[in-house]
Amino acid sequence: MSEIPIKRIAIFGSTGSIGTQALDVIAANPDKFSAEVLTAHSNDELLIQQALKFNPNVVVIGDESRYAKVKQALASTDVKVFAGEKSLEEVAAMDCYDLMLAAIVGYAGLRPTLKAISHGKAIALANKETLVVAGDIIMRKAVENKVPVIPVDSEHSAIFQCLVGETRNRIEKIILTASGGPFLGRKPNYLVNVKREHALQHPNWTMGAKITIDSATLMNKGLEMIEAKWLFNMKPEQIQVVIHAQSIIHSMVQFEDGSIKAQMGLPDMKLPIQYALAFPRRIKNDFPRYDFKKINNLSFEEPDIKTFRNLALAQEALHKGGNLPCVMNAANEIAVYAFLKNRINFLDMTDAIEKTMQNIPFIEKPTLEEYFDSDGEARNFAADLIKL
Ligand code: NAD
Ligand code: MG
């Protein structure tokens, strides 16, 4: 067998939950991957440590006030240091890497990912908000530039894995599993009092703060329905959500003959990260294995969208399309931020998102500029509502 060249990886958001786990995967496979770009928003200490360990070509620190510190700490190396939001796009266009792991959280990940696609870079996509905001444009540009978009989100990785070898076969529906988060089975009279610390305790996954809150409100599953629509070219009616509290089945595909394929394993993001980096190969590893004897009771139930209204709002956005998912995403980012700062309570998040969705003018086929504008308008509207 001929030797496979080392894949040069750019991790946008290297200091986050996905980013650090991706670096663990790279460190375990130095013959397969090298980390060539690392970026962080404000965690300069960790970025410096990562740069000293992995010796990338370039690092970017988003917060410009931290540039001098990073530059000085790396003075004895030949790592290039950039700072500021614009640099993310400049670096995304560089020749020094082959594949971008898009692991920035939220809308901030959109522009660098677009830039990488326009430069023909393969994308391993963790940042689901990118597809929620402008999925039509992202997927169209990916096709135009012959760029693969490989999902990292565990549900979408599961579906992607189920679809290998099935290119000619029609999908009847995809079934996204959801753990239900820490408040599964709870009702609004309970949710009204839950605090930040409680919402940040996810039963099955350890993740960044924003996605952990989104998992508690079920907005995360709503974002994932929209993500699935674009990744797999599905109609909204073909996407179903089922609560599966154990997070062992990561999602399923039902084909037109009724057969259902599922991808299973313990909840561990390193597996979908490794799969996306190495695709189409699988790599041997020592991650803990699922044991039927230990977890032998898998359950499935309908989501309670009357209580977890964010999921109902996301379903509305999924069906209506246009700029509504973008508006919803922007309002959600503002609401989650306000909740994390203890400025609003758990259920207020839904009210702010709903009112923003009702008030920002609908655009059926937005241009990229119109998505940017809708995002800005929705943020301002939601922030005014919450009085941030
Ligand atoms: P995180 O908060 O742990 O990390 C976010 C990263 O983005 C950090 O490196 C941070 O420095 C960077 N960042 C934050 N704001 C930025 C900005 N304005 N500009 C530039 N960089 C910025 O988040 P995470 O949990 O790793 O999630 C990252 C993305 O992956 C999210 O879109 C999330 O939905 C998705 N995802 C995460 C998981 C998970 O297990 N953590 C699972 C599935 C999908
Ligand atoms: Mg997920």
Q: How many CB atoms lie within 10 A of CB 31?
A: 8
Query: Which numbered atom of ligand 1 lies nearest the CA of 88?
Result: 20
Domain membership of residue 209 (yes or no) is: yes
Q: What is the pTM of this model?
A: 0.98
State the pLDDT confidence band at 360, using cuts at 50, 70 and 90: very high
Q: In this structure, are 204 and 268 located in the same domain?
A: yes
User: Does a structural domain hold residue 354?
Assistant: no
Mean pLDDT of all residues in 304-309: 98
pLDDT in tens, 14-33: 999 999 999 999 999 999 99
In the structure, ligand 2 is a single-atom ion and the residues with CB under 5 Å from it are 153-155
In a shared domain, residues 160 and 177: yes
Which pLDDT tens digit goes with each residue over 32-78? 999 999 999 999 999 999 999 999 999 999 999 999 999 999 999 99
Residues 80 and 74: their CA atoms lie apart, in Å, by 9
Above 80 in pLDDT, residue 2?
A: no
Residues 142 and 164 in one domain: no
Residue to substitute in 15, 17, 45, 113 for testing ligand 1 pocket (most ligand atoms within 8 angstroms of CB): 17
> To the nearest whole percent, how much of the chain has pLDDT over 70?
99
CATH number at residue 140: 3.40.50.720
Beta strands in the chain (DSSP E): 7-12, 33-40, 58-61, 80-83, 99-102, 122-125, 149-151, 171-178, 239-243, 249-255, 260-264
Of 258, 293, 320, which residue is a domain's last?
Answer: 320
What are the tens digits of pLDDT across the range 160-214?
Answer: 999 999 999 999 999 999 999 999 999 999 999 999 999 999 888 899 999 999 9
Q: What is the mean pLDDT of residues 264-287?
A: 97
Q: Is residue 84 part of a domain?
A: yes
Nearest CA to ligand 1 atom 36: 126
Domain membership of residue 375 (yes or no) is: no
Q: Cα-Cα-Cα-Cα dihedral of 62, 79, 208, 315, to 10°?
A: 70
325 in a structural domain:
no
Residue 378 lies in a domain: no
Question: Residue range 148-165: average pLDDT?
Answer: 98
Distance between Cα 154 and ligand 2 center (Å): 5
Q: Give the pLDDT confidence score for residue 214 in this predicted structure.
A: 98
What gap in Å lies between CA 138 and CA 326, rounded to an integer? 13
Beta strands 249-255; 171-178: pairing state:
antiparallel
Q: Which atom of ligand 1 is closest in space to residue 207's alpha carbon?
A: 41
- The total domain count for the chain is 2
Q: Do 214 and 290 reside in the same domain of the chain?
A: yes
Domain span at residue 171 reads 156-320
8 Å CB contact between 360 and 327:
yes
